[in-house]
Amino acid sequence: MFTKFSFMHLILLLLLFFGPLQLFAASDFSEADKLYNAGGIENLKKAASQYEKIASADPNSFEANWKIAMACREYAEQCKRQNIPDWEEICKNYGKKGIQYAEIAIKLDPSKIYGHYYYGACAGSYADGISIIKALSEGLKDKTQNSFETSYQIDKRYRDGLPVVALGRFWQVLPWPLHDKKKALNLYREAEKIMPAGSKYRPELNFYLGELLEDMGNDAEARSILEIAATSDDSYFKEKAKQLLSEMK
C-alpha cells in the first residue's frame, strides 16, 4: 500500500514540476527517431515536427535542437534528390529552420559535433534553395566554413567521414575566386582512406571526386571512379554519374 501510494505521488510531483511533455520526453524521442530512421519524405517531415514539439517543451534540450536540424536537412535533401514540386522553396525554408536550431545546439554544447555539422549541412540546403551567390551575399560563407572545419576537428569520422566530404564539397562548389580545387581534392583523398568501402556514403564521395577530377582535366581517373558510382545502389548519385559519363564521351 505504501509503495503504491509513494509511486502515485512521485508521478504527480514529476508532472507538477516538469510537466507532462518533459516527463515523457524519452518516449517522444523514440517516436521521432523511428520516423527519422524509417526514411521517406513524409516520415522525415513528421520527425522534424516531432523533434520541434520536444524542443518547445524543453528549449534547452541539446538533443532536440540538433535533431531538428538533422531532420530538416535530410527532409530538404530528399525533396531535392527526388525533384518534388517546390523543392527549392522547401530547401530554403527547412534549411533556414535547420540553421536556427543548429545555432541553438552549438550554444548549448559547442564541444559536440552535431550542432556544427548540421549548421553547415542546413546552410547547404538553404543555398540550394536560394542559390550559392545569394547565400554568400547573406554572409554564410565564413559561418559555413567554420562549422565544417569545427566538425572536422571534433570528429572527422562522424558518419563514416562525412565532415571530410562536406568540407571538400564546400571548397569544390564555391564560385570563383573563392573555390579551392586542390584543397577539395586533398580532402576527398582523405575521405577515401577513412570511409569504409561498403559505406552508404561511398557513391556520394565517388561522384564528387569524379566530378572534381573531370573538372581538373584528369579524365581517365574521373571516368573509373564515376563508373563505380554509376553501378551503385544509390539511385540519385548513380544517375548523376551516368549523366556525367555520357557528357564526357
Radius of gyration of the chain measured on its C-alpha atoms? 21
For 151-204, how does the pLDDT look when each residue is reduced to its tens digit (9 = 90+)? Answer: 999 999 999 999 999 999 999 999 999 999 999 999 999 999 999 999 999 999
DSSP 2-50: HHHHHHHHHHHHHHHHHHHHHHTHHHHHHHHHHHHHH-SHHHHHHHHHH
Count of other CB atoms within 10 angstroms of residue 34: 12
Q: What pLDDT, on the 0 to 100 scale, is given for residue 6? A: 56
Whether the upstream peptide bond of residue 196 has omega within 30° of 0, thus cis, is no
User: Tell me, what's the pLDDT at 23?
Assistant: 46
Closest among 206, 237, 200, 239 to 223, alpha carbons compared: 206
Say which CATH class 157-249 falls into: mainly alpha
Of the given ranges (6-10, 116-120, 122-126), which has the lowest mean pLDDT?
6-10
Can you give the pTM of this predicted structure? 0.89
- 191 burial (CB, 10 Å; 0-12 / 13-18 / 19+) is buried
User: Please, where in the chain does CATH 1.25.40.10 lie?
Assistant: 23-155, 157-249
As a whole number of angstroms, the distance between CA 120 and CA 118 comes to: 5
Q: How confident is the model at residue 91 (pLDDT cuts 50, 70, 90)?
A: very high
What is the distance of C-alpha 77 from the center of its chain?
Answer: 8
Topology of 23-155 in CATH? 1.25.40
